[in-house]
Amino acid sequence: MLTSITEGILCCLTGKAASLVLPLESTQPSDGFEFVEVKPGRVLRVRHIVPERQPVVTEDSSVHCKRKITVYRNGQLVIENLGDVLHSEILQCQDGDLEPCSTVEVELADYKEMPSSPDPNPVPPPVPPTLGEQKPAPPPRRRRRKPKRTVLIDSKRVISSCKGTHSDVALFFVHGVGGSLDIWGSQLDFFSRLGYEVIAPDLAGHGASTAPQIAAAYTFYALAEDLRAIFKRYARKRNILIGHSYGVSFCTFLAHEYPDLVHKVVMINGGGPTALEPSLCSIFQLPSCVLHCLSPCLAWSFLKAGFARQGAKEKQLLKQGNAFNVSPFVLRAMMSGQYWPEGDEVYHAELTVPILLVHGMCDKFVPMDEDQRMAEILLFAFLKVIEEGSHMVMMECPDTVNTLLHEFFLWEPDMSKKDSSKTDTEKTVALSDTLHTLKINRSMDK
């Protein structure tokens, strides 16, 4: 603690950061560590593992994605799903049948649910008059509201099972603020052993990537362009993006930019579908030298909030994952650079890629209702809650997360027609014990 305070004072006097994250020589070059220069002088460390495998012919399922998204001036968002729906083995109605086309009606930037109605401006039915009473005058007609913006989506998406034996499949893992590719250690080892090609970069200023001493190098758009370069370098025909926390926003960005290349997306504790904007009253707005003095307290707070338990095992995981081990300047610039006004509810509602949402029940950074909100907005979304996990759930519960992700990779929709000759009992389909899902394309009447 005294050393941190001394270095913080020197940082204030000299105007320079006391510690910087610089590229390091890989201690395990045989494990697929590479250094990629995405821009002149901007080098990212990437772990890239390509296993030996034989190409396998796959059968694809085509899904008709048709949506009408209407935004009104009062902040109301109405989403009408008009295309195909998934089979009840994943999205299950109460009777096990296919779910009809439905409408989701919510308020923008508000996590309170509202009753759903196909008509965005319903009129209450008239009350019949009783005997001896005069019929009341009809209420004045209200002018139908004109939408502020209307988005139409009409496309075909091919969704298929992705196995480790498929040579056209690649998995991209993206960490969040203060993390590194090392937090994905269990996932990278697990899926590479199954034959998957895995790619995991260190964001600028994190892990062993270079750390430019300019705040503009850590804005959302600067980091997104870095990941765009990494994605274009390693992308295959079918790519699955796995993001954690802030890394979820970059996965959403890539899925929106490359809809034909991104096959599926996994969002781990990513939060709600709202536009990013830095907080003006955050502790991370303090000068870098002050943050350096507070670094032991910040590390302790991250351990307490990021893990469900704070024992010796969790401390060792935090150390092995090289998490929250960035310079105060990088940390401050990362938090101040989270400005992404395009990433609102409509932006997320336009995605047609299947998405798995993973939420740690004990997460103190991301509330549960934010991931629920995300599941309601997205077209094909399945929400899984891990009770014993927190914000760093992929490190706390690696076996559970790995199994859950693998089942999602292997999942493909069954678009076969329902058999009307079956009885109601035969139509009922039990949910998988491992993959508990949340039905999202539904009427929100409670």
Where does residue 157 rank: exposed (0-12), middle (13-18), buried (19+ CB within 10 A)? buried
Identify the active-site residue in 245, 249, 295, 390. 245
Is residue 344 flagged as an active site residue?
A: no
Residue in this structure with the two tokens 């995300």, named with its chain if needed: 374
Compute φ and ψ for 20, nearest 5 degrees.
-125, 150
Q: Chain centroid to CA 69: how far?
A: 21
CA–CA distance, 338 with 323 (Å, rounded to integer)? 19
Identify the active-site residue in 87, 166, 391, 406. 391
Is residue 48 flagged as an active site residue?
A: no
Tokens of 344: 């609102």
CB atoms under 10 Å from CB of 99, counted, come to 19
End-to-end CA distance of the chain: 53
- Strand 355-360, strand 381-386: pairing: parallel
Compute φ and ψ for 46, nearest 5 degrees.
-130, 135
CA–CA distance, 312 with 318 (Å, rounded to integer)? 10
Identify the active-site residue in 202, 226, 363, 371. 363
Tokens of 2: 């005294």
CA–CA distance, 256 with 275 (Å, rounded to integer)? 14
CA–CA distance, 323 with 301 (Å, rounded to integer)? 13
Using alpha carbons only, what angle is made at residue 231 by residues 24 and 193, rounded to the nearest 5 degrees?
70
CA–CA distance, 441 with 381 (Å, rounded to integer)? 9
Is residue 245 flagged as an active site residue?
A: yes
Catalytic (active-site) positions = 245, 363, 391
